[in-house]
A and B are shown apart, each in its own frame.
Chain A
Amino acid sequence: MTHPFLALTESDREEMLRTIGVASVGELFRDVPEGVRFGRELDLEPALSEQEVYAHVAELAARNADASRELSFLGAGMYDHYVPAVVDAILQRGELLTAYTPYQPEMSQGVLQAIFEYQTAICELTGMDVSNASGYDGTSVAADACYIAKHATGRGKVVVTEATNPQVRQVVKTYAAGFGLETVEVPHRDGVTDPDEVERAAAGAAAVIFQQPNFFGCLEPAPELVARAADAGALPVAHVDLLSLGVLEAPARYGAAIALGEGQPAGNFPSFGGPHYGFLAAREEFIRRMPGRIVGETLDTEGERGYVLTLQTREQHIRREKATSNITTNQTLLALGGLVYLTWLGPQGLRELGETCLSLAAHAKQRLEERAGLEPVFADQPTFKEFAVRVGRNAREVVAAARERGVHPGYALGRDYEGMDDVLLVAVTERRTPEEIDRLADVLAEVAR
Chain B
Amino acid sequence: MRNAVSNPTTTPVEAPVRTPSVAPAPWPERYTDPIHICPQQKREMTSPDVAP
Is the pairing of A and B real? no
Residues in B lying within 8 Å of A, measured CB to CB: none
